Amino acid sequence: MLNQLTISELTKKLAQREVSARETMQSCLDQIAKVDGKIHAFISHDAADALQQADAADKELTAGVKKPLLGVPIAIKDVIAVKDQPLNCGSKILGKFISPYNATVIEKLKDAGAIIFGRLNMDEFAMGSSTENSAFGVTRNPWDTTRIPGGSSGGSAAAVSADECIASLGTDTGGSIRQPAALCGCVGMKPTYGRVSRYGLVAFASSLDQVGPFTKDVRDSALMLSAISGHDVKDSTSIPHPVPNYAAALNGNVKGLKLGLAKEYMVGGLDPQVSAALQAAVKQYEKLGAEIVEISLPHTEYAVATYYIVATAEASANLARFDGIRYCDRVPGNDPIELYSKTRGHGFGPEVKRRIILGTYVLSSGYYDAYYLRAQKVRTLIRRDFLNAFEKVDAILTPTSPTAAFKIGEKTGDPLQMYLSDIFTISCNLAGICGISFQGGFTENPKLPIGLQLLGKPFGEETMLKLAHAYEQSTAWHKEKPTI
């Protein structure tokens, strides 16, 4: 079925006019009609607009126009602005807000010929690890609908895994691309900070946020990264670093590359089946000719605490704009303060309120030095740990998440337990490096995907992708599909 194809398979068939963009788009829409009632990956989608874009792509394809993603249906997390589409960030506070412009990543995907459709469910303002914090209801894991898909980009992961689209975009502030990709059995990448423009992304924690792709295999991840990367005058944190053809690096040859294993990552809460998948990958990499090197990331134990100070501090400032004056479903008050507090009190969900309160506290005078400033210093030490490790190794191999997908409701009562599930993903954002999650096998009884993570040097995406691809191609995990 066309909706199951990868980007590289589909673009070949489209270019040869073996299939049309309309047929492909229609098969994604049919799949949504068939399974999204169970999965709820999409908050909304405009089928007529998607088919219109597909027809335009077909015209170009027939005329022989060559673009890397021409006619490929790509769905978008509800935190990235798409002109004339709703933008809710998984929250009810924005009401009926319609985005007046495209994010730079959307412009780039459109320039590459992609069909942009649908708004994918997420934890409110990207705060969460399970997509249970959405004002639009939970998204379910396609491998087991009693379980969470991960978060915050749970809709983006579930939609790709359930073949409701060919690829999707998500965002990753502390693991929100890699962790749901791992739990849903697809590939998710967080690019190096500054690799991809954040213009048109609703900010959560600006020093950590990056946009990245969800795909069905590693080659597609490389294709998407080449399409969305690059310097943008509208985002001063984007870096004018050349954009390689990432897919060209995927030659399967990893001989002599050095892969680090961090002793601090072999923690107590690691599920034995996840640990076994990691060990199996280590053996496989050795067979492929890579060299395994033990490394140390000594400040790992402070990463979760540091992240939840830095991220909440930045969130409390960024979310101040949702005040009921310029945006939001306004709840009237007798004076501006009452209007603000009623609008925000009514519009934000409990996790967002918790973070704003925590973030405001760590920034307040008297506590700033003890919490925020100290967290910034520890953040520098965490980054230094990685830069030291990268003097010895080309990339670092870790599990993506300590466990496979947990049950819906299992951790909602205990925010700290939820935060601890981010242990392997958040250091990457604090350090500003790149990371990718790819399939490393399945648990038994129940059968659930296990994700492995590679962390790469700043702007080391080519090597990281090459390593992930070599492992993927030496296994068959990525070919398995959930039965929905």
Minimal distance, residue 157 CB to ligand GLN, in Å: 12
DSSP state of 210: E
CB atoms inside a 10 Å sphere around CB 240: 9
The Cα 358–Cα 315 span in angstroms is 10
From candidates 5, 126, 158, 247, binder to ligand GLN by CB under 6 A:
126
C-alpha distances in Å from residue 433, one per residue of 60, 357, 396, 421? 38, 29, 11, 20
- Phi and psi angles of residue 68, each rounded to the nearest 5 degrees, phi first: -60, -30
Confirm or reject binding of residue 156 to ligand GLN (CB under 6 A): no
Minimal distance, residue 124 CB to ligand GLN, in Å: 10
Confirm or reject binding of residue 78 to ligand GLN (CB under 6 A): no
From candidates 104, 121, 152, 168, binder to ligand GLN by CB under 6 A:
152
Question: Which of 126, 484 has the CB closer to ligand GLN?
Answer: 126
Where b means 16+ CB within 10 Å and e means fewer, 11-27 reads bebbeeeebbbbebbbb
Question: Which of 172, 220 has the CB closer to ligand GLN?
Answer: 172
CB atoms inside a 10 Å sphere around CB 392: 11
What SS3 state is found at 400?
coil
Question: Which of 88, 152 has the CB closer to ligand GLN?
Answer: 152
Question: Which of 20, 173 has the CB closer to ligand GLN?
Answer: 173
From candidates 127, 148, 181, 277, binder to ligand GLN by CB under 6 A:
127
Confirm or reject binding of residue 306 to ligand GLN (CB under 6 A): no
Confirm or reject binding of residue 311 to ligand GLN (CB under 6 A): yes
Q: What angle do CA 105, 463, 449 make, to 5 degrees?
A: 75
Long-range contacts of 413-418 (CB under 8 A, 24+ apart): 415/351, 415/354, 418/128, 418/129, 418/130
Confirm or reject binding of residue 31 to ligand GLN (CB under 6 A): no
Q: What angle do CA 404, 409, 412 make, to 5 degrees?
A: 95
Minimal distance, residue 149 CB to ligand GLN, in Å: 13
Q: Which residues neighbour 167 within 8 Å (Cβ) at sequence distance 6 or greater?
A: 7, 72, 74, 160, 213, 214, 215, 216, 220, 224
Confirm or reject binding of residue 304 to ligand GLN (CB under 6 A): no
The Cα 472–Cα 478 span in angstroms is 7
Report the catalytic residues: 77, 152, 176
Q: Are the C-beta atoms of 26 and 471 separated by less than 8 Å?
A: no
From candidates 128, 399, 435, 456, binder to ligand GLN by CB under 6 A:
128
Choose one: 127-135, 141-149, 336-344, 367-375; the region binding ligand GLN (CB under 6 A): 127-135
Tokens of 416: 């700290």
Residue nearest to ligand GLN (CB): 176
Confirm or reject binding of residue 170 to ligand GLN (CB under 6 A): no
Confirm or reject binding of residue 423 to ligand GLN (CB under 6 A): no
Q: Are the C-beta atoms of 109 and 228 separated by less than 8 Å?
A: yes
From candidates 85, 161, 176, 316, binder to ligand GLN by CB under 6 A:
176
Size of site (CB under 6 A) for ligand GLN: 13
DSSP state of 233: T
DSSP state of 53: H
Question: Which of 352, 467 has the CB closer to ligand GLN?
Answer: 352
Residues 187-226 that bind ligand GLN (CB under 6 A): 204
Question: Which of 128, 324 has the CB closer to ligand GLN?
Answer: 128
CA Rg value for the chain: 21
DSSP state of 286: H
Q: What sign results for the dihedral spanned by CA atoms 375, 241, 228, 235?
A: positive
Minimal distance, residue 314 CB to ligand GLN, in Å: 11
Tokens of 185: 């059995």
What SS3 state is found at 290?
coil
From candidates 154, 175, 188, 359, binder to ligand GLN by CB under 6 A:
175
Minimal distance, residue 190 CB to ligand GLN, in Å: 8
From candidates 164, 422, 461, 472, binder to ligand GLN by CB under 6 A:
422
Choose one: 123-131, 430-438, 465-473, 476-484; the region binding ligand GLN (CB under 6 A): 123-131
Q: What residue ranges bind ligand GLN (CB under 6 A)?
A: 126-129, 152, 172-176, 204, 311, 422
